[in-house]
């Protein structure tokens, strides 16, 4: 049992609308600044594993350009189509000058 | 020479389902002329001793509509014994096409069927309008036989333009689409396909056009097939629901035409629904109507190790562990308190995509020599051999091997007993290769070789004769491919000649051979010695001949090229063209 805070960006590093890919535990993860709030999510769409480099983000909705599956970045819930597989999202916290993914086990 | 081609000494399994027998097969002018002990001379003789000589397989669920223009064999179809393909499934076709409408269809193909846009833009030689023109464009340039369904999405775009993805059709527009269906059938379409899958969108996020159609529109289009007594109706409805079964039944009764719907599969997350599906099929057939379920022989699988598993992302603690640095993850996986938490999450009653059945997770790669004995075992069996609980054994084996152990898990098509019943049902068609689609995510050309290798040879769920019947004459009959799918004098010499002891499908592999330098997954086969199309050898021991031996196969309502009105309500090509000009409002 434990908690880890894994730094993924420095505060101010990502402008609103920007995103970057990081490696966490051997998996590719995106960190995105959406209107000042940071989100972290797995790099692949859970539908057909398309990489989400070009996925469209509007507000907290992410749309995969492959088949237009849409996800809520706050929860990972698939909103279009309803009941689709969820996007893997990770909790993000600011700790001092760093944006961290918080992983608890 | 008496024969162009003589195939000597093979075991003839003729597609009828009758027991196979040892015989020679004589071929002349593209057709089978004699089967028996043949003594005549031949331009070429193939020794088939020890091999099975069967009709070429008919892959009826493909999306090769575009690919055939740059890849006339639809590779890897011939490698798996396929001699005929049906394209135009799921509502998606490249015709009819109005001027300037090309991009609307590309948008749908790119997203629904996950084809690279660059390949479509570089590889499709647009220029046709009618469905007949499109079929004509393929004449003489295909290495395998090809037939096509006309797609509801293309019909809607032809008549409604971009409004096809915005609104329902007016009665006048439905009437124009009906005219187009009639024209397509008379030009040789094998039927009509639609797409009602609520997960299918275009590239721009709009639903594919057929999703905007109500039942009245679609049934009106299908009525044309009933009026013409020709063609099949192919549908995809998305996530399987009981009400869909009622809809397929109603469609079959109303039109009297064969309906083919997706999919009958065993799913661990809905482990009893397949029985409901088979019962519904039996009721429809029991009343004399035809609604076939479509199934696949290849389970949808995940391969994972605890270095990279995404299979457990739906369990919160599991998910977090999989993003931790490996050394922390390994410590956590060894910790009894963390294990208890992981175990509790998996035992929770919530419905999950992962089936949580350790008897269904197999070990397919180990890192340490002493663990070779576990290769191929289920985790449950491995645990029993080690005298451990399955969950602990799964984690301990992975930790011993520095997380390198690779596992295999299938959610769909995973229960062999259920799949055996599904595959044996006379109301179920085997297929679903989806060839030409999802090319960067999967390759399932080998559904037929998997049926023969896995389900017949290894699992013995049906006879070789039954399996060949399902891959050939059953499909050819349902689709109205006259003169195909059987080994009989007078039938087309479409043949698959293979070694029954080794025939099987390889794992998919990546290659870059599509237009615009784009890549895709291909799938090779084992044991397929010769594939013969219209009497010409197109594939031999791993190599394609380059011979474009294929033909465009036209359905029962085809009026033939150059015929005028025949007085029975069926019109020739000039009539079809007039219908299509009228339907487009020009």
Q: Please report the pLDDT score of residue A73 as a whole number.
A: 96
**Beta carbons of A48 and B441 less than 8 Å apart:** yes
- Per-residue model confidence (pLDDT) at position B583: 59
Q: What is the pLDDT of residue B561?
A: 53
The residues, any chain, with a CB within 8 Å of residue A53's CB and separated by 6 or more, are: A21, A43
Decide if B320 touches A, using CB distance below 8 A. Answer: yes
> A34 vs chain B: nearest CA distance in angstroms?
21
Chain B contact for A74 (CB, 8 A cutoff) = no
B552 φ/ψ angles, rounded to the nearest 5 degrees: -85, 120
pLDDT (tens digit, 9 = 90+) per residue, B495-546? Answer: 999 999 999 999 788 899 999 998 888 999 999 999 999 999 999 989 999 9
Which tokens go with B569? Answer: 């309500």
Which residues in chain A have their CB less than 8 angstroms from residue B201's CB? 67-68, 80
| Alpha-carbon span B269 to B299, nearest angstrom | 14
Contact, A2 vs B332, CB < 8 A? yes
For residues B258 and B212, is the Cβ–Cβ distance under 8 A? no
Which residues on A lie below 8 Å from B325 (Cβ)?
Answer: 25
Partner B contacted by A21 (CB < 8 A): no
Q: Mutate which of A49, A67, A90 to disrupt the B interface (most B C-beta within 10 Å)?
A: A67
**Model confidence pLDDT, tens digit, residues B48-84:** 999 999 999 999 999 999 999 999 999 999 999 999 9
> Residues B424, B425, B429, B433: is their CA dihedral positive or negative?
negative
- What pTM value is reported for the model? 0.79
Residue B147 burial (CB count, 10 A):
25
Of B114, B321, B323, the CB nearest to A66: B114
Q: Is B463 on the interface with A (CB under 8 A)?
A: no
Which residues of B fall within a CB distance of 8 Å from A42?
Answer: 310, 313
Give A93→chain B minimum CA distance, Å. 15
Distances (CA, A) of B219 to B170, B210, B215, B224: 14, 12, 6, 9
A22 reaches B (C-beta below 8 A): no
Q: Please give the Cα distance from B483 to B551 (Å, whole number).
A: 13
Compute CA B290 distance to the chain's CA centroid, rounded to the nearest angstrom.
20
- Residue A43: closest C-alpha in chain B: B310
Number of H helices, E strands in chain A: 0, 11
User: How many angstroms separate the CA atoms of B322 and B308, rounded?
Assistant: 7
Q: Do B332 and A24 touch (CB under 8 A)?
A: no
What are phi and psi for residue B453, nearest 5 degrees?
A: -85, -55
Interface contact B41, partner A, CB < 8 A: no
CB-CB contact of B292 with B428 (8 Å) = yes
Spatial separation of the C-alpha atoms in residues B209 and B163, rounded to whole Å: 9
Instruction: Show residues of chain B in contact with A86, CB under 8 Å.
Output: 313-314
The answer to whether the beta carbons of residues B407 and B263 sit under 8 Å apart is no
Tell me the count of A-B CB pairs closer than 8 A: 81
CA distance B150 to B135: 11
CA distance B180 to B586: 13
Q: Could you tell me if A90 lies within 8 Å of chain B, comparing CB atoms?
A: yes
For residue B580, the model assigns a pLDDT of 55
Q: What ipTM, to 2 d.p.?
A: 0.86
The span from the CA of B566 to the CA of B557, in Å, is 12
Torsion of CA B355, B357, B363, B364, to 10 degrees: -30
CA B232 – CA B222 distance, rounded (Å): 9
Does B325 sit within 8 Å of A67, measured CB to CB?
Answer: no
- Interface residue B319 vs chain A (CB under 8 A): yes
Q: How far is A38 from chain B (nearest CA, A)?
A: 18
Instruction: Give the rounded distance of the alpha carbon of A7 from its chain centre.
Output: 14
- Which of B385, B513, B527 lies closest to B453, judged by CA? B527
Residue in A with minimal Cα distance to B110? A66
Subunit contact B324:A105, Cβ cutoff 8 A: yes
The Cα-based distances of B577 to B130, B131, B182, B572 in angstroms read: 7, 10, 11, 9
Query: Which residue of chain B is at minimal alpha-carbon distance from A22?
Result: B323
CB A80 within 8 A of CB A68: yes
What CA–CA distance (Å, rounded) separates B299 from B75?
21
Q: Touching check for B201 and chain A: CB below 8 Å?
A: yes
The C-alpha torsion from B139 through B123 and B584 to B210, rounded to 10°, is 110
Pairing between strand B259-262 and B232-236? parallel
- As a whole number of angstroms, the distance between CA B70 and CA B82 comes to 18
Which tokens belong to B210? 């057929």
Instruction: Note whether A67 contacts B201, CB cutoff 8 Å.
Output: yes
CA of B533: how far to CAs of A66, B446, B494, B495, in Å? 36, 18, 5, 7
Kindly determine whether residue A6 and residue B323, on different chains, have CB atoms separated by under 8 Å: yes
Give residues 41 to 60 of A whose Cβ lies within 8 Å of B. Answer: 42, 44, 46-49
Sheet holding B191-193, edge to edge: B150-151, B191-193, B232-236, B259-262, B291-295, B428-430
Question: Which chain A residues contact residue B354 at CB under 8 A?
Answer: none
Please give the sequence-ordered ranges of beta strands (E in DSSP) within B229-290, or none if there are none. Answer: 232-236, 259-262
Q: How far is CA B508 from CA B444, B505, B521, B524, B566, in A?
A: 8, 9, 6, 7, 50
Judge whether B464 and B500 are in contact, CB under 8 Å: yes
B373 alpha carbon, distance to own chain's centre: 36
Distance in angstroms (rounded) separating the CA atoms of residues B502 and B4 = 28
Is residue B325 within 8 angstroms of chain A, CB to CB?
yes
Nearest of B417, B525, B502 to residue B453 by alpha carbon: B502
- Report d(CA B181, CA B38) in Å as an integer: 46
pLDDT computed for residue B356 by the predictor? 87
Q: Return the beta strands (E) in B215-350 as ranges.
A: 232-236, 259-262, 291-295, 300-304
CA distance B553 to B546: 20
CB contact under 8 A, A105 and B326: no
Please identify every stretch of chain A with a pLDDT value under 70, giving residue numbers as ranges. Answer: none
**Which pLDDT tens digits describe chain B residue by residue (586 residues)?**
899 999 999 999 999 999 999 999 999 999 999 999 999 999 999 999 999 999 999 999 999 999 999 999 999 999 999 999 999 999 999 999 999 999 989 988 887 777 888 999 999 999 999 999 999 999 999 999 999 999 999 999 999 999 999 999 999 999 999 999 999 999 999 999 999 887 777 777 788 899 999 999 999 999 999 999 999 999 998 767 889 999 999 999 999 999 999 999 888 767 889 999 999 999 999 999 999 999 999 877 777 899 888 888 889 999 999 999 999 999 999 999 999 999 999 998 777 778 888 988 989 889 999 999 998 889 999 999 999 999 999 999 999 999 999 998 877 776 889 999 999 999 999 998 999 988 876 788 999 999 999 999 999 999 999 999 999 999 999 999 999 999 999 999 999 999 999 999 997 888 999 999 988 889 999 999 999 999 999 999 899 999 999 999 999 999 875 443 333 333 334 445 555 555 555 4
CB distance B441–A27 less than 8 Å?
no
């Amino acid at each position: 049992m434990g908690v880890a805070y894994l730094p993924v960006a420095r505060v101010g590093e990502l402008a609103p609308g920007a995103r970057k890919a990081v490696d966490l535990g051997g998996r590719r993860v995106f960190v995105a600044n959406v209107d000042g709030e940071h989100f972290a999510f797995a790099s692949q769409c859970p539908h057909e594993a398309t990489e989400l480099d070009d996925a469209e983000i509007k507000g907290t909705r992410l749309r995969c350009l492959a088949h237009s599956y849409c996800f809520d970045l706050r929860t990972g819930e698939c909103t279009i189509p309803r009941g689709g597989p969820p996007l893997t999202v990770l909790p993000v916290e600011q700790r001092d000058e760093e944006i961290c993914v918080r992983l608890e086990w | 020479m008496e024969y162009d081609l003589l195939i000597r000494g093979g075991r003839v399994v003729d597609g009828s389902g009758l027991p196979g027998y040892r015989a020679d097969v004589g071929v002349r002018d593209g057709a089978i002329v004699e089967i028996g002990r043949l003594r005549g001379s031949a331009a070429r003789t193939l020794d088939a001793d020890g091999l099975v000589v069967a009709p070429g397989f008919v892959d009826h669920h493909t999306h090769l509509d575009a690919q055939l223009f740059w890849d006339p064999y639809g590779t890897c179809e011939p490698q798996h014994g396929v001699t005929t393909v049906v394209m135009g499934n799921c509502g998606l076709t490249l015709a009819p096409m109005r001027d300037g409408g090309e991009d609307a269809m590309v948008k749908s193909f790119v997203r629904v069927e996950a084809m690279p846009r660059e390949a479509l833009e570089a590889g499709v030689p647009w220029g046709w309008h009618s469905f007949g023109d499109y079929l004509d464009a393929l004449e003489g340039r295909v290495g395998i036989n090809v037939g096509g369904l006309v797609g509801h999405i293309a019909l809607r775009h032809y008549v409604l333009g971009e409004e096809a993805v915005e609104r329902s059709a007016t009665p006048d527009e439905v009437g124009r689409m009906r005219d187009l269906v009639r024209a397509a059938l008379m030009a040789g379409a094998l039927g009509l396909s639609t797409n009602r899958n609520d997960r299918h969108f275009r590239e721009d996020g709009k639903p594919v056009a057929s999703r905007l159609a109500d039942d009245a529109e679609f049934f009106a289009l299908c009525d044309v097939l009933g009026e013409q007594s020709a063609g099949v109706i192919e549908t995809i409805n998305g996530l399987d629901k009981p009400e869909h079964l009622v809809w397929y039944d109603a469609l079959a009764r109303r039109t009297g035409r064969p309906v083919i719907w997706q999919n009958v599969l065993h799913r661990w997350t809905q482990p009893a629904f397949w029985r409901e599906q088979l019962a519904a099929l039996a009721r429809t057939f029991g009343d004399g109507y035809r609604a076939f379920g479509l199934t696949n022989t290849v389970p949808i699988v995940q391969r994972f190790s605890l270095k990279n598993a995404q299979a457990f992302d739906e369990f919160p603690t599991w998910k977090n562990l999989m993003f931790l640095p490996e050394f922390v993850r390994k410590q956590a996986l060894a910790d009894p308190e963390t294990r208890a938490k992981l175990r509790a999450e998996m035992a929770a009653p919530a419905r999950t995509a992962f089936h949580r059945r350790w008897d269904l997770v197999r070990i397919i790669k180990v890192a340490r020599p002493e663990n070779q004995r576990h290769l191929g075992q289920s985790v449950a069996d491995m645990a029993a051999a080690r005298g451990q609980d399955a969950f602990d054994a799964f984690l301990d084996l992975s930790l011993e091997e520095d997380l390198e152990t690779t596992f295999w898990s299938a959610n769909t098509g995973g229960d062999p007993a259920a799949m055996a019943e599904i595959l044996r049902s006379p109301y179920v068609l085997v297929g679903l290769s989806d060839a030409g689609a999802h090319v960067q995510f999967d390759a399932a050309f080998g559904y037929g070789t998997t049926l023969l290798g896995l389900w017949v040879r290894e699992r013995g769920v049906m006879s070789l004769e039954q399996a060949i019947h399902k891959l050939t004459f059953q499909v050819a009959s349902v689709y109205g491919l006259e003169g195909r799918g059987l080994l009989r004098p007078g039938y087309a010499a479409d043949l698959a000649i293979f070694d029954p002891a080794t025939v099987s499908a390889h794992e998919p592999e990546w290659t870059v051979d599509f237009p615009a330098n784009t890549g895709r997954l291909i799938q090779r086969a084992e044991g397929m010695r010769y594939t013969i199309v219209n009497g010409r050898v197109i594939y031999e021991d791993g190599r394609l001949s380059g011979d474009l031996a294929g033909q465009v196969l036209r359905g029962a309502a085809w009026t033939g090229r150059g015929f005028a009105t025949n007085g029975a309500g069926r019109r020739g090509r000039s009539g079809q063209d007039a219908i299509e000009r009228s339907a487009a409002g020009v």
